[in-house]
Amino acid sequence: MYFFLTNLSIIEVCYTSCVFPQMLGHFLAERKSIFYVCCVIQVYTFLSFGIAECYILSVMAYDRYIAIWEPLRYSVIMNRGVCVRLVTGSWMGGFVGSLVATVSTFQLSFCRDNVINHFLCEMPALFHLSCTDTSQAEILSQILCVFTLLCPVTFITFSYTHIINTVLQIRSAQGRRKAFSTCSSHLLVVILFFGTVISLYMRPKSLHSPEKDKMITVFYVAFTPTLNPLIYSLRNKDMKIALRKLLGKPRDT
């Protein structure tokens, strides 16, 4: 579990680093611009780490499923080699999927005033900027979303359905509470991340608006990665005690 959390943290640091330096620079500068090559690199790296996070979250759901469904065989099933292969596959899936999306996006022609009404170079904003037919690129984008968003969400839903069924069969209330606490933080992160990303990338083009897209992007680029460490820290006993003291609640006996 901690091996996957480490990779999730690295991914979030990387994909926020693709965006924040440029965003902060634009807030301070009078002339806000980005080179074409830099825009291509930003799209590719941002998508790479974003897709990798989708797969890592799916792998973490599978890890929780094995931990609860097969607790006695967990160390055998989820051995070091399996964990490394799952993480490597997640990273490679991100790099390959992003390459396909980036190539299809930058095959479009951008012959307008080249003003991106966004904080960063992102596919929906670039589609609005193009003066050529974007239907093929959008179809490819939706197909990619099926494999990088809907498939992971379906797999996570399947895993948690079995997890919940297994936990409900535990007779002791303390055992059920302990089992749910190991999964609740991951489930909350999944809902926050996938909910915002799907609402941005899988909406019809007619429902896109620059202002809404900016708000959604800020949420999953800035707010979610900042909140995730706090969410996972709530599993820590010392963190729980400190939070109860802050809220003025008595400790559990």
User: Residue 69: what pLDDT?
Assistant: 81
Q: Can you read off the two tokens belonging to residue 135?
A: 């239907």
| Confidence label for 172 from pLDDT (cuts 50, 70 and 90) | confident
Indicate whether 63 belongs to any domain: yes
Tell me the C-alpha distance between 187 and 113, whole Å: 43
CA atoms within 13 A on the CB side of 194: 24
Are the C-beta atoms of residues 149 and 194 closer than 8 Å to each other? yes
- pLDDT reported for residue 241: 67
Q: Which residues contact 38 (CB under 8 A, 6 or more apart)?
A: 22
Q: Which pLDDT belongs to residue 18?
A: 85
Q: Is the pLDDT assigned to residue 134 strictly greater than 70?
A: yes
Residue 116 in any domain: the answer is yes
Can you read off the two tokens belonging to residue 17? 């680093």
The answer on pLDDT for 163 being more than 50 is: yes
The rounded distance, in Å, linking the Cα atoms of 27 and 37 is: 21
Q: For position 253, what pLDDT does the model report?
A: 45
Residue 253 lies in a domain: no
Total domains in the fold of the chain: 1
**Does residue 252 form part of some domain?**
no
The pLDDT value recorded for residue 29 is 73
Q: Does residue 145 carry a pLDDT above 50?
A: yes
Any domain includes 185: yes
Between 129-143, 153-167, 196-210, 232-246, the lowest mean confidence (pLDDT) is in 232-246
Domain that holds residue 47: 2-247
pTM: 0.86
In a domain, 19, yes or no: yes
CATH number of the domain at 76, please.
1.20.1070.10
Q: Render pLDDT for 230-248 as a digit per residue (tens, 0 to 9).
A: 766 666 666 666 666 766 6
Does 11 or 130 have the greater pLDDT score?
A: 11
